[in-house]
Structure 1
């Protein structure tokens, strides 16, 4: 795996994202300390106590700033002192500095309390000796049995918050690990901290006494058999079918080629249709020997990536030899294959691709919702994350937190149950 970009190769004056090594600037800061004799403070992906101690003890800096680590978990210093478990920053910049650079209020992709104080962890309910929450919830409400279906970030966060409040929680996840689609993110270089965050969620659930059932598919009968007082449905999304499915060219989903890149066939050319993402898929396919073209109808590839990361994404793809083309559409007509320029309507002829990869186009995986409503007519069923509408990590975490933390299992009824749209959670 190639080494991450060094900061010296990047534009100056930026907040390093996950493409840059951790502890990015301490060596430079120590050099400044030596040259000037003036105490220095350094920042730049100092994300945990060990890294901070290394910078102070071994690299000769005087102070460290752990800005984004404290955004991800403002209680980090107290937790380090008391042996707690801080929520680990994943350094994607999408919620914090990337929003500031775009003129929007700062948030955090994994800590929704930065966006909305009501979505903080709050006080946890007392627990009995065996770890089960006692009597009532943290705010004195009635303790319920909450069944969460799906162990991606939305489901895991909903389960964590509900358990903290004092509810009895059962989580069903069909895969052997928690994380859902977020598990594919750590396959891209620089994003190994995603695993730390997902493992943190799992550790939190176990400590809170959540009945965590992995490798456990959910059916209406199985869920009903658990006798839930409320259900949170977090089953995620699936690739949306396109007009290219059913053609004589192989079509694949970006997630599938990330996990298991296919062996090149024919001329080994692939076109990635990429409205928003697909960067990791492009790198995986290049690594497998494909010649990759990535196209988008946006002004340029990676147009929706935040300003602190877009340079790294495009540089990495170009250095890998990926052909990046914006504001074009893949077409196939009587003249053969081509790219249609969406501004000029000019047509560029191209060779037929051997593989088309679809990135970003997804639809909610909510088949279970209707059947659960029928099987449990008196039990609230709430959809969160991609099950409600496919979006991003920040939305999934926030909606999971709202479902579990605000206790709004009974505040609204699902649309099909009473015609009332659920409040909160978005």
Structure 2
């Protein structure tokens, strides 16, 4: 009897151990799933705020691109401002890309689609959103592919988008690969780079969606090896591989915040000299910059070197803002620079009468109310949204924060959009404007 009780006790302990192990694993799995769901909801929330659509996107489940990759795609286009984008496979990504191009006020998307059904659906959505002018949608059947491929073609027919779909394509800044369907053949997406390689602009990027699948990962790695590209994988819901093509001199492109004008206005000698002269001639407390750019780091370093107060930057949430924060930490500028991530919201206080109601958006009022008195305001954001008065609220939104003898500088005086805003400010607020500095309008308030 004692032996039976002993065995029963051992069995009970073993069962309890197994139960705890199963519970622990279940909790861990639940947390992983919960985090994944949260990441997509968070991405969808930011994406919804960034898009300027009349209706909703198609469902973003199943074959469709996930919210996280679409958000990254939209932000990349908004900030990098590619002139020519090509995508393989149309759908929700078509709307997202076209919306970003429209907000930029420049660029074209060439969308390759093999399905009449899906092509018609995409065209209908583009018409509804008035995005048709930004998209060249090319619908044609897949045809035999005889070019380079990872599939030998011995056991199945190799097909890709028709050669006629590629006519006139050149200087491609961004290639987004999300088609054709995997059932077309093994390594179905491989021809994308061989077909477009000689049509890429210097420093072009190639984005491979769905790299959680081994085929897409293998394709991206093969492209990197055989086409001289750098490759980075991102742990998104369905995975993303980003390749950057080599520059003409064979060096790989590096996106350095301090060297590229990828944000808004690029730093040049004229702007750098004007900043340095202003900092040396004034007693500054707080400088505010709307938007982020390659100007930001130089401005921060100049303020630090002259012990000339603090720099506060207000910009939309983005990966580039996160990258800038890391660069600021790397350069030891945290004591000088404060980065504030602020979404755009409806802002109807004052605009020129001709401004489209849908474009009356500015950084949220609560963020701006917390700003200290400002001695200098530099306007280099947010991105233009295809209308001339996007940055008009910069002045009225902080007017009550401006210290005596404060100055407001609008960068990019060569732009008609900038000139329109400055002219409206001078008229509405009786300001004088100094346009003697290259690429800068200086207004004394």
TM-score by length of 2: 0.28
Give the helix-richer structure, 1 or 2: 2
**Does 1 or 2 have the higher relative contact order (CA < 8 Å, sep 6+)?**
1
TM-score, normalising length: structure 1: 0.29
